[in-house]
Structure 1
Amino acid sequence: MSHKLASSNPQAPVAVFNFPFASHPSSLLRFIRTISAVAPDIKFTFFSTSRTNSSLFSGSNNKGLDNVKPYNVWDGLPEGYVPPSGPPLEQIGLFLDQAPQSFERALKEVEAETGHKFGCLISDAFLWFSGDIAQKMNVPWVTTWSGPRPLLVHLETDMIREKVGAPGQEDKTLDFLPGFSNEFLASDLPKEVVFGNIESPLANMLYKMGQKLPQATAVAVNSFETMDLKVSEELKKRLKKLLLVGPLHLVRPVPSAQSDDDEEEKDACLPWLDNHKPASVAYISFGSVGALPPMEVAALAEALEEGGFPFLWSFRGNLEDFPKGFIERTSTGRVVPWVNQVQILNHPSIGVFVTHGGWKSVLESVTCGVPMIGRPHFADQTLNMRSVEVVWKIGMRIEGGVFTKSGAIKVLEQALSLEQGKEMRQRVGVLKQLAQETVGPNGSSAQDLKVW
């Protein structure tokens, strides 16, 4: 590690700063585990809120994490705080207000307790201030990010606001951005990037991140070069070092860290799927945060029932949102609280993935060779689904952006029964092959991981 990304002392521990919301913690920890498979002698301290750390490092989750120690930082919430319902925007704001001081204080506490100085700082890209802390420490700063195309958008926020920032410009095309065709629209971008108050906590964080990332020693992205070649080339021009290290879920952990793959129990739904024809079942999941509004839950359920589509729905919402008697009546489908998504997507009977379009879900769908129907909610999901639709042509977004019964029947038929679905499956099969090659011994992602 000495001549690569970290300090001149290869024994120096590495500090990891986590953004404790949505799927960010598990994604960052997976990246750390992937590095530890390549460089098993490195010791990591994982700085996050107590709530996230207790969830990530509890019980069986701890297996294979001997070289990663959690350390709690303040979540920024006042005593007795009761969070409002809905997305945690207020909690994010309170956390970010205190985060620069909280993380720096915690880092100094660990150095004082252990007597060891950290030799490198890895952070979620959202925590832009980590660059300033790394500079004070005089150590390399490495950040992690999900998909390449949204990253380019954040790096070009000033140009985007200049060209399309005025209200009423939502339908303006983005072909002024390198790697973007005129099929990309301003409305595909997170509103925080294009419109509105750049001083809101989330918009401000994203803006500062876009300004700061070109100073990072390296930016590690969970993707692979051949998935979005033009955008990858543009990112390389703007960043000191771009590491394309994905798809991370295909990279094998070290033997001691096999608990989340090789020793995992088979998902209980797999025998049920065995009874279905190839590419005949719709798998439905809207991620760990995004929940469909009740009217859309009902519309999608009615479409599944009326069309007789076999389905497996991983559902975390309120069962009362389903039409009365839906679960009892639909012998063609199953509603379950949780599934092992990669195991399910890898099953030959899955013909389409109905998804919110989060980057992790898009990558998993690609590596399993499954086309997508997208109903994005927020953040980079709309941009991800537009890429799925117009760049790779391996899926489609729901018409009008919300589920109606007729709209859902239409896309489910296209994906599961018509020629369009077969063509999408062929194209996603090519991407699946490229993804497998990239994590192979001589693949580009495997090479980029060797910088550790």
Structure 2
Amino acid sequence: MGSTSSPCHVAVLAFPFGTHAAPLYSLASALASTVDDSGVIFSFFTSTRSASSLPPVPRIKIFSVSDGTPPGHVAVHEPPHLEVGRFMSKVPTNFTDALDASVTDSGGIDVTCLISDAFLSFGGAIAKKLNVPWVAVWTGGPCSLSAHIHTDLLRRKNLSDEDDLGFITGLSGLRIKDLPDGVVVGDLTQGFPKLLHDMALALPDADVVVSNTFQGLDPDLDSDFGSKFKMYYPVGPLSLLNPVQAVSEDRFGCIKWLEQQKPHSVVYVSFGTVVSLPGTELAELAHGLVSSGVHFIWSLKDSFREFLPDGFLDRTKDQGIVAAWVPQAEVLAHKSTGAFVTHCGWNSVLESITGGVPLVCRPVLGDQPVNARVVTKVWKVGVGFEGKGIESGELVKCLRKVIRGEEGEGMRERMRRLKEMALGAVGVEGNSVRNLKAVMEMVVGKSGRV
């Protein structure tokens, strides 16, 4: 993209919890990479802790915002809702103060476009006050976004847990029981239900809604969102469109070990950085891995090793690796990886698609049950532990089905087609690449005037 007629200052507001900041940072970096004009700058706003995991990127400056943590406060295994509650008690003042600081830091270049995580619905009000475009970014899956924007409709209906959501475009095959907490029941005046309901009400006013998915994965939802929002652009998978991450380390030798294994023979186990399974489930998982005989890589924090059965590490030293940190994208992309035991966070689902690896789903919270249902019953690229935790015998059945069974071959073939679709979206002139260019044209082309 060529030079712009006047300086542009794009402000990007992150929700600094879970895996929200990373895809938004990837989007900002991808947008920044599309312009060759020094007159376009990006300011990225997140908490100090969140910022510590983000590598430096040219033309993007990171500004810290208060997360509400009192000086000297030490959080030990604190529930996520307490951290989020403290943070939300400081918004939007913490962001507006940081925005002012970024303008001063830039030499007085006013913000000309505001991009925010869709969770931060007050971004629309800030953009309106500044008289600039608002771009809202949904970092989760499209089915959960649809559930949130249909909250009021769902609450008006008298529905039971097993009722199918086929009356909502694109949600056939999902049930009421799969929906995130707060959609059908819960107090919409406080906490996460309020945050997400406020988002659903605000998104139709956004100049653009951007989503971390790709066209064709959920075509009915593509059409539905296109009719509900002023402009809707799927630009994912962001991890492929612009992979922003620190230099990958493999200090536990996972990739070297995978090179010695047969194709599709290894199960990768990880529940992300937010979800923690009960100790009893971790023990069942360990017993199941041993009983299955399947080779494995298990990403497990050192603090959870106490839940492993006595002697587990010694008994499995030739069967697998237990590592405190694993280069997940590289492991899932490796030809030896044949299954992924996961909580079904959206980023993990996308990485599994781009690696072509079927999933074994153990959802825990938020949008994970929705994602798991789509994986197992709509796309049919995985199996799961529905309505219960991991039990060793059931895990053995799941792993043998996916790794060694004929059904697993079918899952791999369907996953291969999704992978090709994802790679095509981020290829030269792919849908996501074109959509990204359209977003950048709007961001820069409007020069801050709505």
User: Does TM-score exceed 0.5, indicating one fold?
Assistant: yes
1:318 is matched with: 304
The one-letter code sitting in structure 2 at the alignment partner of 1:247 is: P
| Counterpart in the other structure of 1:32 | 28
User: What secondary structure does 1:194 align onto?
Assistant: coil
Q: Secondary structure at 1:220's aligned position in 2? A: strand
Map 1:115-126 to 2 at 5 A. Answer: 115-126=108-119
Q: For residues 88-118 of structure 1, what are the alpha-carbon distances to aligned partners after superposition, in whole Å with 9 as ceiling and x for unaligned?
A: 2012112112111221122123324531101
Write the distance in 1 (CA, Å) between the matches of 2:407 and 2:241.
Answer: 31
Counterpart pick for 2:362 among 366, 375, 394: 375
1:172 aligned counterpart, secondary structure:
coil
The CA deviation at 1:40 is: 4.3
> Partners of 2:324 and 2:219 in 1: how far apart?
37
- The answer on whether the counterparts of 1:131 and 1:212 sit within 8 Å (CA) in structure 2 is yes
Structure 1 range deviating more: 78-87 or 428-437: 78-87
Q: CA deviation at 1:252?
A: 4.6
Write the distance in 2 (CA, Å) between the matches of 1:277 and 1:47: 44
Q: Is the 8 A contact 2:27 2:242 kept in 1?
A: no
Instruction: State the partner residue of 1:299.
Output: 284
> Does the CA-based 8 Å contact 2:7-2:109 persist in structure 1?
no
8 Å Cα contact 1:142-1:220 kept in structure 2: yes
CA distance in 2, matches of 1:413, 1:277: 15
- Structure 1 position 390, deviation (Å): 1.6
Whether 1:240 aligns to 2:230 is yes
Shift of 1:299: 0.5
Q: Deviations over 1:5-25 (max 9, x none)?
A: xxx855211111111111111
For 1:420 and 1:218, the matched residues in 2 are separated by: 41
**CA RMSD, Structure 1 to Structure 2 (Å):** 2.0
Counterpart of 1:152 in structure 2: which amino acid?
S
Using the alignment, how far apart are the partners of 2:161 and 2:79 within structure 1?
23
TM-score, structure 2 normalization:
0.92
Q: 1:310, CA displacement in angstroms?
A: 0.8
Equivalence for 2:48: 50
Counterparts of 2:249 and 2:162, CA distance in 1: 47
d(CA) in 2 for partners of 1:306, 1:205: 44
Structure 1 counterpart SS, 2:62: strand
CA displacement at 1:208 relative to structure 2: 0.1
State yes or no: 1:227 paired with 2:222.
no
CA deviations on 1:298-355 (whole Å, 9 max, x unpaired) are: 1011011112111110112510111011011012111011111111011111110111
Task: Name the structure, 1 or 2, with higher relative contact order (CA <8 Å, separation 6+).
Answer: 2
* 1:138-217 alignment runs, 5 A limit: 138-146=131-139, 147-164=141-158, 169-181=160-172, 183-217=173-207
Alignment of 1:444 with 2:431, yes or no, is yes
Q: Please report how far the alpha carbon of residue 52 of structure 1 lies from its aligned counterpart in structure 2 after TM superposition.
A: 2.1
- Report the counterpart of residue 448 of structure 2 in structure 1: none
Determine the C-alpha separation between the residues in 2 that align with 1:71 and 1:189: 35
After the TM superposition, which residues 243-392 of structure 1 pair with which residues of structure 2 at under 5 Å, given as runs?
A: 243-252=233-242, 260=246, 264=248, 268-316=253-301, 317-330=303-316, 331-392=318-379
SS at match of 2:91: helix
8 Å CA contact 2:2–2:36 kept in 1: the answer is no
The residue number in structure 2 matching 1:97 is 89
Question: Of 122, 127, 145, which aligns to 1:129?
Answer: 122
TM-score between both structures, scaled by the size of structure 1 = 0.91
Quote the residue 2:422 is aligned against: 435
Alpha-carbon distance between aligned partners in 2 of 1:164 and 1:40, rounded to the nearest angstrom: 54
Secondary structure in structure 2 of the residue aligned to 1:226: coil
Contact 1:22–1:288 under 8 Å retained in 2: yes
Runs of 4+ in 1 over 6 A off after TM superposition: none
